[in-house]
Structure 1
Amino acid sequence: MLTPEHLHALHNLPLAARMAAEGLLHGAHLSRRKGAGMEFSQYRPYQPGDDLRRLDWRLAARSDRYYLRESEVDTSLTVHLVLDATASMNHRDDNGLSKLEYGRLLCAALAYVATQQGDAVALTVLHPGGLRHLPPRADARQLPRLYHALATTDATGQFPDTATLAPLTARRQPALTICVTDWYEENGEVERLLTRLRAAAGEVLVLHLMARNELEFTFRGAVTFEDLETGQQLQLDAGQQRRAWQQQLQPWLQATARRARTLGFDYQLLNTADPFTDALREFLRRRARGA
């Protein structure tokens, strides 16, 4: 599995998405259920009330017994990708990759996998000035639409307010919602959005992005930190603050995961230095569970 920075270096989102996903898709198959689809599966004895159009009359003529032809139809679902594109997603790791760039690649790979599984895919990009939304479709042109929307997305501003988010949470359509975010919030605005999405659509999977230099505090010497959304700055000595940072970070991450699961979200922490393997595998697992 190629690293995210190698995939980003391709400067080709469709190719990067396919390369990130194709290893996991090897051996993965669509879930199927019995029905009246096009692909023949098996015969079943006729029961009163069955649709007579599905009777196999040739078999009945040969055997003097009545059987229905059962088929297999692909089960699918709607996958709604929600990408946080606020300014905090511009944070860069030591490998030079920003959270937004990682999030773009991740969403593209998830869209590719979902499309290969026969699902309808939607995308919403969260901007303070308004939502960029592509409604769910399963046609051949949806992936290029998604790739273009992702490739032309920049991270700016603070998290959208309730009025801006209202059209998103007003849509009540069953879906697997996958939210890619750094969970940077001031007054619980991310949690409120996720709660409303769960009420509107059902299952919510949160992919929480953290850079390695945040998780391991790899900074050295005198460092000036700047809040990318407010512009506030803080100067400190990284060596002196490393232990305190790590002592506070781990309890916060544990509390965040615990809170997410208490509210009914599926939660996964992702290190932006790592491949997308875990996130893609988790999507396939949850898709299989819901199919």
Structure 2
Amino acid sequence: MTASPADLRARAQTASGHLPALILSAERLAAMIAPGAHGLRRGGPGEDFWQYRPAGPGDTARSIDWRRSARSDTQFVRDREAQTAQAVGLWISAGQGMGYAGAADRPTKSDRAQLLALALAMVLLRGGEKVGLLGQPARAGRVQADRLAEQIATMVAARGDADAPPVDLLRPNQRLVILSDFLDDPAWVQGLLSRAAGIGVKGVLMQVLDPDEEVFPWSGAVLFRSLSGAIRHDSRDAGGLREAYLARLFERRDWLRRQATGAGWQFGHHCTGHPPATALSWLYQVLAD
């Protein structure tokens, strides 16, 4: 069933009510990370020092750093690091499973993923990068941060427990950050990474889970039901499922890590029971490498 324009408008208005809190939280989180332009890790036009290297054919006398060269018998050139704004695309799963929180005092997985995405965008934008949601134009500047905040805050949940980014929205030579719980059928990950490798897209897979999903604390008779209601499992001995569940979780993470590594991507995971600053710092660093 397709939602009517009135329904969509009502959802957007409800979601936008959380916008000020999301922006404030993201700004506080982003302030913990020192912004800086991302170098391309090679010599070229730029302001930052990169390395000293021995002078070679083609280097002019003007390019030689005579102060550094005076300390040895070799002439050295002072290279600067090339700096080019990179386009970073963000995709946040809107699957209904992302709405799970194991306790009232915890954020949902969706809330935490949205916070991380917006805070990361703010840090990147302060460093001069271009950022946008996947499928939307990547732009630079403060106005883009406000635009992203509104787009993220008004995201509408998918109809099912999980979703996947459309591979046809990938663009050559961009960086991509995917935030999801990756608990559903992960076959789409292979298709995404295969397409990405073919057009020079690098990026990060970040798994976001609730503490309950990390340790499986249940025991006794438990009715497990997905948030969409599509999946139900009535267990009389939930504790007996713990070992098998944790083994499957570790297998899934190992598989995701291998898939990411094979495509030149990075894989990380974050628990909503932990401070978000650690995850944000990691995301920023791997994008800078």
Within a 5 Å distance, the mapping from 1:1-291 to structure 2 comes to 12-25=21-34, 28-31=35-38, 35=45, 75-94=84-103, 95-124=105-134, 133-158=135-160, 159=162, 165=166, 167-169=168-170, 172-186=171-185, 188-229=187-228, 231-236=230-235, 237-289=237-289
What is the distance in 1 between the residues matched to 2:174 and 2:26? 22
Q: Given the superposition, is the C-alpha separation of residues 74 and 15 from structure 1 closer, same or farther in structure 2, using an over 3 Å criterion? A: farther
Contact 2:193–2:263 (Cα < 8 Å) also in 1: no
Aligned to 1:186, the other structure's residue is in SS state coil
Alpha-carbon shift at residue 229 of structure 1 (Å): 4.8
Counterparts of 1:23 and 1:167, CA distance in 2: 35
Partner Cα separation in structure 1 for residue 272 and residue 48 of structure 2: 44
The offset of 1:117, in angstroms, is 0.8
1:166-188 CA deviation, whole Å, 9 max, x = no partner? 5413xx33211111111133361
Against the structure 1 CA distance between its residues 222 and 136, is the aligned structure 2 distance closer, same or farther, given a 3 Å change threshold? same
1:30 aligned partner, one-letter code: A
Over the aligned positions, Cα root-mean-square deviation in angstroms equals: 3.2
The residue type equivalent to 2:123 in the other structure is V
CA contact (8 A) 1:219 1:238 kept: yes
DSSP-derived class of the 2:123 partner: helix
Q: Identity rate of aligned residues, in percent?
A: 25
CA spacing shift, 1:241–1:73, aligned 2, 3 Å: closer
Unmatched 5+ stretches in structure 2:
1-17, 50-57, 61-79
CA distance in 2, matches of 1:13, 1:97: 12
Return the alpha-carbon distance in structure 2 between the equivalents of residues 151 and 258 of structure 1: 32
3-state SS, counterpart of residue 157 of structure 2: coil
8 A contact 2:19–2:149 mirrored in 1: no
- Looking at structure 1, the residues matched to 157 and 97 of structure 2 have their Cα atoms a distance apart, in angstroms, of 8
Instruction: Say which structure is richer in strand.
Output: 1
With the length of structure 2 as denominator, give the TM-score of the two structures.
0.71
- 3-state DSSP of counterpart to 2:131: strand
CA displacement, residues 205-225 of structure 1 (integer Å, 9 cap, x when unaligned): 111112210111122432211
SS state at 2:137 partner: strand
Amino acid at match of 1:178: V
- Deviations 1:82-111 (Å, cap 9, x if unpaired)? 111122212223344211111111111111
CA contact (8 A) 1:93 1:212 kept: yes
Aligned residue type for 1:285? Q
